[in-house]
Chain A
Amino acid sequence: MNETTTGSILTTEGVPLKVSLQKAEKRNKIRAILLVAPLLVFILVTFLIPIGDMLLRSVDDSYINTVFPKTFKEYKKWDRQDLPSEELYKTMFFEVKDSEGYAIGKASTRMNYAKSGWKSLLKKSKRKFKKIEEGPYKEQMIAIDKKWADMEYWKALGVMVDATTAGYYLNAVDLKYNVDKEIVRQKENRRIYNHTWIKTFKVSVLVMIFCLMLGYPISYLLSTLPLKYSNLLMICVLLPFWTSLLVRTVAWMVMLQQKGVFNNLLVMANVIADENRFKLMYNETATIIVMTQILLPFMVLPLYSVMKTISPNYMRAALNLGASPLHAFWKVYMPNSVPGISAGCMLVFILAIGYYITPELVGGKDGQMVGNWIAYHLKTTLNWGLSAALGAILLGVLTVLYWVYNKLVGIENIKLG
């Protein structure tokens, strides 16, 4: 029909062109989806879901509500001025007495984060409550342990009433809730994370800078040498990739120890006295040295692939136009290598900031980074909430950096090859 709405074009068979186009494209779309489906599922299951779970865990505070549901309900009526009423003591008494020991244990760990002392109090009470047969409960509980008459303990429960908490995040930056749910700084001797954050950034930035300083000339050489030499050099650069990370790290331990190869050589060459050996192992210096070596290929590869595309004629043209070699390099070669610098620095920084195994092995006490604390809380203290909060902050920082980078340099300026 000719008098269809203006603008819609028909195919020769009289079907609107758009409809027939959609039909044709539908098959292509299905094909595309089928092709990516396995990877999509894989990433979903192994990556996105765990990350989501981690983010939830970092704010989750619901477990304790499942152990003391009635107590918390009653708790909300309390005026926080005097000791709670008999009613609150009573619900608390039964919920402690009737709960599984395992549940009380887990909940008391959480309560201990809010006010230390809860854990031992509950453990003791659970044991003694068995003997108490009838009320009033308040006096009998206080008789078992005086802490039951301490307002601080009762107040501290208020921090945990909500099913979500920012407590882990506060913890991750050396802050905490006091018993009145006000944000305060941690006690002097418990402030460890801010220091670690700063160190993590410092180490990552230094490693990035050293990688750039060492990697740039090598990449330049690689990209300008004739193929037969550049292949050989490339193998040398990639060799670290082919040896196990652990082997390499242990090799560095042998090298850098106070009685190690490096110091021995210096002493033998009379550069330093025997008693003045450098402390290069089990500290921040060791972390930086070893991480620089390990991450160097991640700087060299993107730099090389970008430099490979810079025509030698640019430098020649600049020289020909009268620029000194240094000026030509700075004004012509360097700007053209920026995409490689960006990509290399991003890659190295991102890898460095979450690094774990190397600082663990060679860093000693002084060379630990955020990644090590995450592992520590995950494996040793089982404070997964704090681990998750540390991890989430790391993720957030990287996202912000990425955004800033995109604003400043433009993400399209990253080139991996």
Chain B
Amino acid sequence: MGSTDTFVKFEKVDKSYDGETLVVKDLNVDIPQGEFLTMLGPSGSGKTTTLMMLAGFETPTGGEIYLDGEAINKIPPYKRGIGMVFQNYALFPHMTVNENLAFPLEVRKLIKTDIQEKVKKALDMVELGAFGNRMPLQLSGGQQQRVALARALVFEPRLVLMDEPLGALDKKLREQMQYEIKHIHENLGITVVYVTHDQSEALTMSNRIAVFNDGKIQQISSPDILYEKPENAFVANFIGENNQLKGKVKSISGKNCIVTTDKGDEITSLKINVNSVGDSSTVSLRPERVEINSADSNFENTFNAKVKELIYLGDHIRTRVEVCGNDQFIVKVPNSYKGANLKEGASVKLSWKASDSRALDLG
């Protein structure tokens, strides 16, 4: 293995359960030491499967996984030393919180006093010091969650996996736990692989996000890049809100290209995921990057549009317009004097920069 930096490496990993369909296809990921990597994707996209292969509960059908430079395909789960937080916590119901936490230490044959000390430290870390003698079922969901977290960390693994650990919590508790997990990650310097459905969770917590779809990673990059510069139509659609205009590539010049919609409007865009003239393409554009009735003339794209619907959202007005043949086009207008003057049915002028519109695959 080359780079010392790479802690976990997936190399051409495939997985099939039934021998007919691949649920993970040609997965290649490098995870550096200390990173918080989130796997985000729709249900059934192979996130849990990937995590299970890393933890050792599923064997890859092809390819190899490396942990700290060592191929681990043949190493059983109990020798991998990876901490894991399960979706439904999987706390042992017949043991107290203390016993749950002591379990990984006892199997490692630590001496009693050390065990007690470590258990206490781990419980204090998740602020449950007073709950050591309770049974798991006597705790609230959030408390159980924190015990599960403490148990996954108490034996000081260098890698911790979490499969939708906050899925069962209400919004407020979830946000609080997100913060706590992030905090613990930074303090301990461990590597975390985190699975979630929830894109805002992914965006707030991660160093990098891997967007999964259909067993493949669609894009893997930092949250801001993922949002600002999606590389294909799926990612653009999946992360945040997104306007789509479909058309064909008319010409390509340098890093820009021109896409013609069915109605004949010509949109100047960044050439991202199209190869040649004549390709079908989806132009993707964030709602907040569109200006209404701008006096500025610096925009490469300016089109006439019709206001279809106004939704008042306090700080901004969500405006649905029809432009370039798409009547689901959303513009976020700040609730200033300009927004207050909009009326349904009015004709307006929309403009945006070529650098904000991205010509992607058809999706």
Contacts and interface: CB of A to CB of B under 8 A. Distances in A.
A317 B86 contact: yes
Contacts of B77: 316, 319-320
A324 B94 contact: no
Interface string B43-69: 000000000000111000000000000
B337 interface: no
A410 to B, nearest CB: 13
B78 A313 contact: no
B83 A320 contact: yes
B286 interface: no
A333 B86 CA distance: 17
Contact of B90 (A316, A322, A325, A335): A316
A317 B163 CA distance: 12
A322 B107 contact: yes
> Which of the four size classes fits the interface of chain B?
20 to 34
A321 B151 contact: yes
A323 B84 contact: no
Interface in B69-128: 76-79, 81-84, 86-88, 90-94, 103-104, 107-108
B107 A323 contact: yes
B90 A323 contact: no
Nearest to B163: A313
A322 B80 CA distance: 8
B94 A321 contact: no
A327 interface: yes
Contact of A321 (B87, B88, B107): B107
A332 interface: yes
Contacts of B88: 311, 313
A318 interface: yes
B155 interface: yes
A336 interface: yes
Contact of B78 (A324, A331, A335): A324
A328 B79 CA distance: 13
A317 B104 CA distance: 10
Interface in A312-353: 313-314, 316-325, 327-328, 331-332, 335-336
A324 B77 CA distance: 9
A318 B83 contact: no
Contacts of B104: 321-323
Contacts of A316: 55, 57, 77, 84, 86, 90
Contact of A323 (B56, B81, B103): B103
Contact of B155 (A311, A321, A331): A321
A91 to B, nearest CB: 72
B14 to A, nearest CB: 22
A317 B155 contact: no
B94 A318 contact: no
A322 B84 CA distance: 11
13 contacts: A314-B92, A316-B86, A317-B91, A319-B77, A320-B77, A320-B83, A321-B78, A321-B83, A321-B155, A322-B108, A323-B104, A324-B78, A335-B94
Interface of A: 311, 313-314, 316-325, 327-328, 331-332, 335-336
Kindly list the 8 A-B residue pairs having the minimum CB-CB distance in the complex, ordered from nearest.
A321-B104, A313-B90, A317-B90, A319-B77, A335-B94, A320-B84, A319-B78, A323-B107
